[in-house]
Structure 1
Amino acid sequence: MLKRVFALCCIIPLLVFCAVQANAAGKEQRDWRSQNVYYLIVDRFNNGDNSNDININTKNDLRFQGGDFQGIIDRLDYIKDLGFTAILLNPIFDNDSKGYAGDRITDFYKPDEHYGSLKKFQQLVKEAHKKHIKVIIQFKTNQVSPEHPWVKDTTKSEWLKGKTKDGLVEVNQTNPAVKQYFMKMGKWWVQKTGIDGYYLSDVEDAPINFWKDFNSAVKSVDKDFYLLGDVHSDNANMIKNYEQAGFDGFYDRPQNQPLRKAFSDIDQSATALLDIVKKNKHTYNSSTVNAVYFDNPYATRFTRDMVNANKYPGTRWKLALTYFYTQPEIPVIYYGSEIAVDGGNAPENRKMMNFRADKDLMDYMTQISEIRAKNQALVSGSLIPIYNKEGMTVYKREYKGDINIVAINNTSATHAVSLDVSEFDGDKELHGLLEGGIIRADQGKYKLVLERESSEIYRVVDKTGINFGFIAILVMVWVLFFAFIFAAKRKAKKNK
């Protein structure tokens, strides 16, 4: 009995302390800006149901290899443990025999039989939602397979424009009947499955009025539905033109190459990235929630850039992820990046996921995801550069009085940066969130020291000093404990 009381007295102060700390950090309800997205190709992720392995060929990268909806269901915990709160799937509609990636559509109203049934997809969405994971699907409206029924239907001749260079058939999105078809179909999938968003690729292929009506139709079913547009342009002003069409955000293509260049090699400046952040703030509406990415099914793997630069991918990825998870846009990670998968252009960048453990990088991804989730300033805060020179970068994220400092040393030497106490209001100290440790002001300066190719995220908090309230609680607990011991001894002596 005495042992239990002693243990309880030790635990109580700890619980009180943790509760205070958790409350101090604060947390807001997750919106789209705070999501972490995992982008995968269904056929190349995980085979969970052998019954739909129809004419698969695991030795041919251009054919179906067995991944399906059940395989994703089986790996939802894996995705969640990495810190992801949403999954983005390639187009899941029925495809011809070459359409493993979903871009050779033959029927928009049913899933591909290699992936599973509509009922199985509904189960995937339901199971994902149970784990607080949103589901987004890529939605293509500009091309169909030459085997699509429209191609042979003479009544649909005005629905199509002709063949593309890769043998697909281009859809005439200026045709009012085509627009009505996609509006109806877009609503149908939301109503039928409960998905949370569309990634609408090749936006520039359709007129703005097409997207205005399509997006409005989808939003009439679910006002919180996320519509991510992808305009194939490196010009932010051109992308911005489509804001009037009702998109919630856009793929930030202009940032992709500067992002890859900044972190694939050492001693690279982050100036281009910081300039893009500043430009985007003045270009897009404040309500626009863009997404940023390193790679996707249509580009070489980011790891290939590191290999070409003769650099170790694990270290490079960690630095890249530090920036990626602390910049203002939604981070979208392509499957396999958690184990630094290498690959050239398609189909080499679409290999079957093998789930071998690269525990160090996976743990880092989990850790930095948790840091982002617990610090609203990293999600919604302003980004203010503090120091930027030859690969050593320090910036501040601030939101409603909460401040985080991000320091990235992408150089070949140890660097120190001093921040003046005037940078913050009041007497503060910096708590390291990646490696730990506390930095206090010394002679009016906070000195940040980072070894080569390393990074740290600091939370700016009030200087701790002596916590009299916590000490009072400790004293009270121990007084009660000794009072109990005294009473127990007296009772035992009296009984004896």
Structure 2
Amino acid sequence: MKRIILILIAILLGVSSPAYANVTKENRQWQDETIYSIMIDRFNNGNTQNDFDVDTKNLEKYNGGDFQGIIDKLDYIKDMEFTAIRLTPIFDNRENGYHGYWVKDYYKVDEHFGTMKDFEKLVNEAHKRKLRVIIDFPANSEVKGENLIDAATWWVKKTNIDGYSLPEVNKVPISFWREFSAAVKQQKKDFLLMGVSSGNTADDLEVYHEAGIDSLFDYNESEQMRQVFATTDRSFQSIRPAGDKQNLDAHFFDNEFTKRFTTDIVDERQFPGARWKTALTYLYTTPGIPVMYYGTEIALTGGDIPDNRRLMNFRTEKDLIDYITKLGELRNQLPSLTRGTMEMLYEKSGMAVYKRVYKGETSIIAINNTNKSQKVTLTGDQVEGGKELRGLLGGDIVRSRDNQYILILDRDNSEIYVLAEKTGLNLKFIAAAVIPGILAIWFLLLVFRRSKTNIVE
């Protein structure tokens, strides 16, 4: 009896494993990461002893966020399956420089955020959790170029950070970025440089790639994505990725310099939770590095600066947080979502289905960004026939019939499928139904035997 029960339990555990359980991940690369972006002063106050000139009722003053506050929330960030954090500038700033961009000393941390030891602790604690650390390094100041490069290399050596985000790269000569890139990348293997530039086309940005900047924030693309996902029934044509070269570029909906995307959604009289879920599904499953601004997980709203830099609120419902966590989990476990080729299989007025393929792993992403249910038929030419598509968000299973796959999605719904061999009998259901009964019988027999033994004694 014991042997039979153990066999049935083994069957149940085996068939309940996720479809992607056997995927082996190579050494992580930057394109595999998912970044949580933080404005230090507005995230979390972990040490009131550095609350100099703090006024939480004035968004143009310091609000109290600091390094210790971030340390206290690293597990919160990690639990959402993020793999890196990006911080606004940490350097000593002029009066009221809560945002970090009015740097007056590149070799000191701002006293409102903590001490150098606090920052080093933050980096160490993040690394313990396998979170990479990127900091903003504003280079468009009056400081001489060679001095900026010296400061940048000094921070890498002293604190072991993993990357720089470089605001307004278009306001600094390309020749400087070539020198900057060569210098900092000598200090640490796989150091990432992310360039931020507004008002440039994709072709304009390419020159920065050539200068050694690995990843670029494309504001034009971000604006197009906001227009598509703020409401329903809008075509994906304007946001279709152009190719594999974008795998390292940063993709985002908002940041500390833009209105909150939630504001766009509200202006369209849409429900933020549903809109954000659809938008983030696209962000997490298309080529590029997703960068999510703090507060997105609670659908934080905000207009122009400084309204878009409100204090974070950790007392909120978890529905959107749970969804982000699931997306992050899938992105971390499916290489096809981070390294795969991309092919659009179907697109019409807000309904899109696309395919990501990497080393034999095929993911199919279906996004229904319309106001009604949608039905899409995929042919054997688009997806290999004779198999099944296993849904990892909602649990849907679509089996190949007549060399076709028929996908049906409700409005405001998305699904991430993996292509897998067809399953036969539903062993999971059978085992789940049978095992409790067998365990009950086994328990009764055990009780009966023990009571019989006691009577004999």
The residue number in structure 1 matching 2:119 is 121
Query: What pairs with 1:381-460 in structure 2 (closer than 5 Å)?
Result: 381-460=340-419
In structure 2, the residue matched to 1:139 is: 137
Alignment-derived partner of residue 267 in structure 1: 233
Find out whether 1:462 has 2:421 as its counterpart: yes
**SS of 1:257 mapped into structure 2:** helix
Q: Mark the runs of 5 or more structure 1 residues left unpaired by the alignment.
A: 144-159, 161-170, 172-177
* Shift in Å, 1:17: 4.7
Structure 2 partner of 1:34: 32
Match of 2:110 among 109, 112, 115: 112
Cα separation, 1, equivalents of 2:185 and 2:253: 29
Q: For the structure 1 residues 20 and 443, does the alpha-carbon distance in structure 2 shift closer, same or farther, using more than 3 Å as the test? A: closer
CA distance in 1, matches of 2:8, 2:132: 40
Give the drift of 1:20.
9.1
Say if 2:148 is the partner of 1:189: no
Bigger Cα displacement from structure 2, 355-364 vs 46-55: 355-364
CA drift of 1:87 comes to 0.6
Q: Which residue of 1 is the match for residue 171 of structure 2?
A: 205
Superposition deviation, residue 129 in structure 1: 0.6
Match of 2:276 among 312, 317, 325: 317
SS in 2 for 1:101: coil
Is 1:377 the equivalent of 2:336?
yes
The alpha-carbon deviation at position 35 of structure 1 amounts to: 0.7
1:248 aligned to 214, 234, 240, which one? 214
1:84 aligned counterpart, secondary structure: coil
Q: 1:426 to 1:393 in 2, by over 3 A?
A: closer
CA 1:216–1:434 in structure 2 vs 1: closer, same or farther (change >3 Å)? same
Q: Distance in 1 between matches of 2:303 and 2:201?
A: 25
- Paired with 1:112 and 1:35, the residues of 2 have a C-alpha distance of 28
CA contact (8 A) 1:338 1:358 kept: no
Note the 1:265-414 alignment, pairs <5 A. Answer: 265-274=231-240, 277-278=241-242, 280-281=243-244, 284=245, 289-414=248-373
C-alpha separation in 2, matches of 1:452 and 1:443? 27
In structure 2, the CA distance between the partners of 1:25 and 1:246, relative to structure 1 (3 Å rule), is: same
Distance (whole Å) between structure 2 residues aligned to residue 22 and residue 254 of structure 1: 34
Q: CA deviation at 1:121?
A: 0.3
Counterpart amino acid of residue 376 in structure 1: P
How far, CA to CA, are the matches of 2:14 and 2:357 in structure 1?
A: 28
| Structure 1 residue 325: Cα displacement | 0.6
Q: Is the 8 A contact 1:63 1:97 kept in 2?
A: no
Q: What residue in structure 2 maps to residue 94 of structure 1?
A: 92
Shift of 1:23: 4.7
C-alpha change, 1:29 and 1:19, in structure 2 (3 Å) is farther
| Of 65, 68, 83, the match for 2:66 | 68
CA distance in 1 between partners of 2:255 and 2:384 (Å): 42
Between the aligned partners of 1:58 and 1:436, the Cα distance in structure 2 is 44
Amino acid at match of 2:358: Y
Secondary structure of residue in 2 paired with 1:343: coil
CA distance in 2, matches of 1:264, 1:20: 32
AA at the equivalent of 1:450: L
Deviation at 1:232, TM superposition (A): 2.3
CA distance in 1: counterparts of 2:389 and 2:348, whole angstroms: 22
* Bigger Rg over Cα: 1
Q: 1:231 aligns with which of 191, 194, 197?
A: 197
Give the superposition deviation at 1:201.
1.1
Distance 2:5 2:97 in 1: 61
Task: Answer yes or no: is the 8 Å Cα contact 2:385–2:404 preserved in 1.
Answer: no
Q: TM-score, normalised by structure 1?
A: 0.83
Separation in 1, partners of 2:269, 2:20: 42
Q: Is the 8 A contact 2:19 2:418 kept in 1?
A: no
The Cα RMSD (Å) is 2.7
Q: Is the 8 A contact 2:254 2:261 kept in 1?
A: yes
The separation in 2 between residues aligned to 1:22 and 1:430, in whole angstroms, is: 12
**Residues 360-406 of structure 1, C-alpha deviations (whole Å, 9 max, x = no match):** 11110001111111111111111101111111111111111211111
The residue type equivalent to 2:102 in the other structure is R
- Aligned partners of 1:426 and 1:462 also within 8 Å: no
Give CA deviations for 1:84-122 in whole Å, capped at 9, x if unaligned: 111100011001221000011111001100000001100
Q: What is the deviation of 1:207?
A: 1.2
Q: Is the 8 A contact 2:34 2:290 kept in 1?
A: yes
Contact 2:345 2:382 in 1 (8 A): no
Structure 2 gaps, min length 5 = none
CA distance in structure 2 between the partners assigned to 1:361 and 1:467 by the alignment: 31
- Letter matched to residue 30 of structure 2: W
CA contact (8 A) 1:414 1:452 kept: yes
SS in 1 for 2:44: coil
Amino-acid identity (%): 45
> In the TM superposition, what is the alpha-carbon distance from 1:417 to its structure 2 partner?
0.4
Residue deviations 1:387-442 (CA, integer Å, cap 9, x gap): 11111111111111211111111111111001112323352101011100211122
Distance, in Å, in 2 between the alignment partners of 1:311 and 1:40 is 26
Residues 22 and 313 from structure 1, CA distance in 2 versus in 1: closer, same or farther, beyond 3 angstroms? closer
Q: 2:167 corresponds to which letter in structure 1?
A: S
Give the drift of 1:269. Answer: 0.9
Distance (whole Å) between structure 2 residues aligned to residue 46 and residue 366 of structure 1: 20
Whole-Å separation in 2 of the counterparts to 1:454 and 1:22: 21
User: What is the TM-score normalised by the length of structure 2?
Assistant: 0.90
